[in-house]
Amino acid sequence: MACGVGIQFLAERFPHKPVFPGVDTTGLAVNQAVGWYEERCKSCGRCVLAMTGGICPVTMCAKGLYNGPCGGTNKGSCEIDPDQPCAWYKIHERLSQQGRLDLIMDITEAVDWNDQVPRTLIQPGYEKTEKAQDN
């Protein structure tokens, strides 16, 4: 049993295995380092991780698209931010590896999301420590 972040954490480590959500939480982040968190789940209550290979299109897609890429994906990157991987490119790769690519054809009702872009949260104390190390 895990929330959306737990599902994505496991899906990254075991990309060839399907992972299914046990609960439907409502903004959670993955701890990348002390004080550094990357939001992977908005806890939206409309979890589709079982159908998207454990990759959340709500937080990982700049447009929060539920039903495939926008058409602006460029070599696996997002058209809005080339440093951001295209969520649907990653979903396609993951489902293909798992032999579950047929799931990409499932249609999910569109939602008007607010603030769907994943955030990176750095605690103020950590930010100071990081800057001090650079000097």
Q: Which residue has the tokens 């990348």?
A: 32
pLDDT at 25 over 70: no
Q: What is the pLDDT of residue 135?
A: 47
Task: Report the alpha-carbon distance of residue 83 to residue 103 in Å, rounded.
Answer: 27
106 vs 37, 52, 54, 76, 83, CA distance in Å? 31, 10, 15, 21, 28
Using pLDDT thresholds of 50, 70 and 90, give the confidence band for residue 117: low
pLDDT for res 103: 93
Reported pTM: 0.64
Pairing of strands 28-33, 120-122: unpaired
